[in-house]
Amino acid sequence: MATTFTLAQGARSSALLTMGTLASATYIASSAIDLGATIPIDVTLEIEVTPGSTPSGNKRILVWAQLSLDNTNFGTGPTSGMTTTDEGDLQWVGAFTIQSTGTHRRFMKLSDLPVARYLKLVVKNDMGVALTSGYIYKADITAVGT
């Protein structure tokens, strides 16, 4: 008899990263996130941002991850400030363009990253204006066999 697998989405987490009034061209990183000993098949991220005024310049939010196998040694790359040195060392998650004021949401997935139990999310505000607020949430995706 064949086994059928379906995907199950866990509950939306509390905020993993609060970006507050993050200035333009500035990075911020979350605390370490433990995906658990049984790593989910995927993780859906919900990124919510509100620009303080109409975006200009690149008009985007950039998201990366720093991975760790032991919750001590994380990948390198910028996690705060405005220096872009070693940005290429970060694991790319995604970006989204924001053209107007108001609250904007975008969903991204982590399944294209190497598998690691621990990670930190890194965000760069590349909108040309400061944020009024910003948050990242997650929901784990697991497989259920029947």
What are 45-90's pLDDT values in tens digits? 999 999 999 999 999 999 999 999 999 999 999 999 999 999 999 9
CATH of 17-141 among 2.40.10, 2.60.120, 1.10.760, 2.60.40: 2.60.120
- Exposure of 88 in the CB half-sphere (CA atoms within 13 A): 0
Quick count: other Cβ atoms within 10 Å of Cβ 113?
Answer: 16
- According to the model, what pLDDT value does residue 1 have? 63
Q: How many CB atoms sit inside 10 A of residue 93's CB?
A: 20
Burial class (CB in 10 A: 0-12, 13-18, 19+), 11: exposed
C-alpha–C-alpha distance, residues 113 and 117, integer Å: 11
80-119 per-position pLDDT tens digit = 999 999 999 999 999 999 999 999 999 999 999 999 999 9
| Phi-psi domain of 86 (left: phi exceeds 0; alpha: psi -120 through 50; beta: other) | left
| Closest to 136 in 3D by CA, of 49, 9, 12, 16 | 16
In the chain, where the domains are located: 17-141
Per cent of the chain over pLDDT 70 is 99
